[in-house]
Structure 1
């Protein structure tokens, strides 16, 4: 049996090759997704039993977010992602650009705060963490944008990617990193859950657009490269019927496309939030004006009454 540079036989069936490289990797994500989903649904049930309402749309969004992670890590795509650049890039884009948006639209932090006992130690600890200096740092635009861009260029254009792909632990750590980076980047932009001081809606849009050129350039660089950019995918198994350059070009196209689609979704969500916020502000100002007007009218009537008395 022939072997390539990474130690797997090029004449083995593709799934056999992938499972030999990362045995049981999808089990970790399967258990993790199940636990996270169970905790979220437990909190929703707890609220309903207490008589509180929780929007069904938030629950649906969070469930879809968890399922999207499971779809790319607990299926055959996980195995193909070990030997095909395009499959790996699809995983990367979904769990860092799509899944975090869906999870954050589910408002998990808000749900947690409402589910925990009011005045309890756990709830106070969560509130302190949300307003801590550490949280302010990791949610600042300087940190999130830098981390988001570095996760592309510092990972794929250095030997770090090949090093992580050599072990199951390294690969799992990289996938979890993708999820964490997406959550950290989109959390202050989405603004659904409570947190440190957030910029205005216009500034959030600018932060969203700031990463688009870097993401697009990364995808174009992969598509136009004349040779393999990473050694891990330099020699895909012959049974897959593809070559490294074509597969890498497909990966670049995915990276470019995913810089556009999630951005549009987040932009629509921001516009809706901005509109709702302006409507609430207008109603609050109207109520204040009505109260002020009532007070002025009462004062004028009192003045007229005093004149009649005199």
Structure 2
């Protein structure tokens, strides 16, 4: 047991160091420096721990129940895809480019919110992480996440209406010029921006993708997804058709890439508007078709514990 824990700890340190070094090599601009390196190291450690816990939990689950049992192979692949895309968004040169181009910053956020978050949710990380603990640890953790105090917090957050509200608030608030500009010049605000975008997206996709498992609010989830596509596309359209650039930190840096600040903003708005809206539309059609098929086959019993 101690040897296995030591190997896990060592793997975490090695992966964190590798990611942090890669990120530091590509960091420059107003948000660079020691704070940026610390954020890269923290992000790398968090990603490394998530990968290790998922791999450990999946290994134990499949060793007990057989490969593909409980968590299907495609779900494990979805988690891997979400993990890799999050690492690419946060620790690749894309993070550097986002300091000089609003459109690159938009690509980074779209990857986190529309690629990484739903793929990770499809991988059912809560169930897999639980198996990373010892049997006693699983029982204690399961009791905590089934307790009334926790469910009193978790259920409103993952109800489609609650998740929709959080997602919309985070999306629109961070695109207010005063907050967005603060995130481009301060590492702590930049880290908070990434964390809230990703956290809100995880809650939203958890509510949407998990709501089809016997809950009575499937219709609410579909409406929440549709209206999210509408209001995020509206924000993208406002950015695209604005008569002037909104964010002063990009007034000079966009020229380094052969773009005017307004062209850079318009490109970012189009990225939010078209691919972003299309992602929500496709997700709604796929999940809606799946739920219609479930209705034809008969009701599925509700699952306790908020989708665990």
TM-score relative to the length of structure 1: 0.77
Choose the corresponding residue for 1:17, options 29, 45, 51: 29
Matched, 1:48 2:65: no
**Deviation digits for residues 71-111 of structure 1 (CA, Å, limit 9, x no counterpart):** 11111000111121001001111111221110111011232
Look up the SS of the partner of 2:32 in the other structure: helix
Which moved further from structure 2: 68-77 or 258-267? 258-267
Look up the SS of the partner of 1:172 in the other structure: helix
For the Cα contact (< 8 Å) 1:236–1:242, is it kept in 2?
no
CA drift of 1:158 comes to: 4.2
Q: What is the aligned partner in structure 1 of residue 210 from structure 2? A: 191
**Aligned counterparts of 1:192 and 1:62: Cα–Cα separation in 2:** 19
Structure 1 alignment gaps of length 5 or more? 1-13, 285-310
Alignment of 1:83-122 (within 5 A): 83-113=100-130, 117=135, 120-122=139-141
**Aligned counterparts of 2:82 and 2:94: Cα–Cα separation in 1:** 17
**Deviation digits for residues 250-302 of structure 1 (CA, Å, limit 9, x no counterpart):** 00001002332321342244135415533652799xxxxxxxxxxxxxxxxxx
Q: What is the aligned partner in structure 2 of residue 148 from structure 1? A: 167
Choose the corresponding residue for 2:96, options 75, 79, 84: 79
Look up the SS of the partner of 2:81 in the other structure: helix
Alignment of 1:58-77 (within 5 A): 58-77=75-94
TM-score relative to the length of structure 2: 0.77
Structure 2 alignment gaps of length 5 or more? 1-25, 302-308
Q: What is the aligned partner in structure 1 of residue 49 from structure 2? A: 35
Q: How many residues align?
A: 269
For the Cα contact (< 8 Å) 1:152–1:218, is it kept in 2?
no
For the Cα contact (< 8 Å) 1:156–1:230, is it kept in 2?
no
For the Cα contact (< 8 Å) 2:83–2:116, is it kept in 1?
yes
Look up the SS of the partner of 1:169 in the other structure: helix
Matched, 1:137 2:150: no
CA drift of 1:227 comes to: 1.1
| 1:152/1:232 CA distance change after superposition, 3 Å | farther
**Aligned counterparts of 1:175 and 1:89: Cα–Cα separation in 2:** 11
CA RMSD of superposed structures (Å): 2.8
For the Cα contact (< 8 Å) 2:158–2:203, is it kept in 1?
yes
For the Cα contact (< 8 Å) 1:215–1:255, is it kept in 2?
yes
**Deviation digits for residues 187-229 of structure 1 (CA, Å, limit 9, x no counterpart):** 11101798xx944433321111011221111011111112111
For the Cα contact (< 8 Å) 2:255–2:261, is it kept in 1?
no
Alignment of 1:291-306 (within 5 A): none
Q: What is the aligned partner in structure 1 of residue 239 from structure 2? A: 222
**Deviation digits for residues 40-92 of structure 1 (CA, Å, limit 9, x no counterpart):** 11100011222342311110000100101011111100011112100100111
For the Cα contact (< 8 Å) 1:201–1:270, is it kept in 2?
no
Q: What is the aligned partner in structure 1 of residue 278 from structure 2? A: 261
**Aligned counterparts of 1:130 and 1:265: Cα–Cα separation in 2:** 36
Which moved further from structure 2: 112-121 or 232-241? 112-121
CA drift of 1:245 comes to: 0.6
